[in-house]
């Protein structure tokens, strides 16, 4: 007798439910992200910008903008380093100096994630930002480097 005959309706329900859940998970995980336009990488190095020395800070007048570059945070896919500008005690600009972009997949994921992480940092006015789904490692590295830069500015 076949395993899915009428004498075992519970097995049929369990298998159908498992297949449905698996299908939904696969569909949701394959949703493509559209990448916003970013600066073109340098043809010679593939990097968008050269990293500043770790933990460097430059300060202008007491009320003028102060800029610091956080330490590079090593992630599973490569380093992430962030530069932050603070004016009158408020974060006015956050720029990812270095982030993983060695493969097309890295470029697609981080092209989507990095601008959102910058927006999150400007909104939160701190390194306490939400991770971007699908870019967990980059998000954590971004957060660490941002906190390092803010610490060097005394925030």
The mean pLDDT value for 20-46 works out to 58
- Statement to judge: residues 128 and 74 lie in one domain: yes
* Cβ neighbours around 120 below 10 Å, total: 21
The model's pLDDT over 55-70, given as tens digits with 9 standing for 90+, comes to 444 444 456 788 999 9
Residue 73 φ then ψ, to 5°: -95, 125
Identify whether the C-beta of residue 116 lies closer than 8 Å to the C-beta of residue 50: no
Query: Is a pLDDT exceeding 70 seen at residue 99?
Result: yes
Can you tell me the mean pLDDT for 22-37? 63
The pTM (predicted TM-score) of the whole model is 0.61
Domain count, the chain: 2
* pLDDT tens per residue across span 81-97: 999 999 988 999 999 99
7 with 78, same domain?
no
Q: Considering the domain boundaries, does residue 49 fall inside one?
A: no
Cα separation of 42 and 85, whole Å?
A: 24
Task: Assess whether pLDDT exceeds 70 at residue 3.
Answer: no
* Domain interval for residue 2: 1-31
12 and 69 in a common domain: no
Give the CATH number of the domain where residue 148 resides. Answer: 3.90.1010.20
* pLDDT of res. 71: 93
| 69 and 21 inside one domain | no
116 contacts 106 by C-beta, under 8 angstroms? no
pLDDT at 45 over 50: no
Do 26 and 62 fall within a single domain?
no
């Amino acid at each position: 007798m076949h395993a899915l005959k009428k004498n075992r309706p519970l097995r049929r329900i369990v298998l159908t439910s498992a297949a449905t859940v698996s299908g939904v998970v696969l569909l949701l995980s394959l949703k493509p992200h559209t990448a916003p336009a970013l600066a073109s990488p340098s043809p010679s190095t593939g990097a968008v910008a050269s990293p500043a020395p770790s933990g460097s800070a430059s300060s202008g007048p007491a009320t003028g903008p102060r800029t610091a570059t956080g330490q590079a945070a090593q992630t599973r896919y490569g380093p992430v380093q962030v530069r932050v500008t603070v004016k009158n005690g408020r974060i006015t600009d956050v720029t990812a100096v270095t982030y993983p972009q060695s493969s097309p997949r890295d470029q697609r994921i981080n092209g989507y994630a990095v601008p959102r992480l910058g927006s999150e940092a400007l909104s939160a006015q701190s390194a306490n930002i939400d991770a971007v789904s699908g870019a967990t490692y980059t998000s954590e590295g971004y957060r660490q480097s941002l906190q390092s830069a803010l610490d060097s500015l005394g925030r």
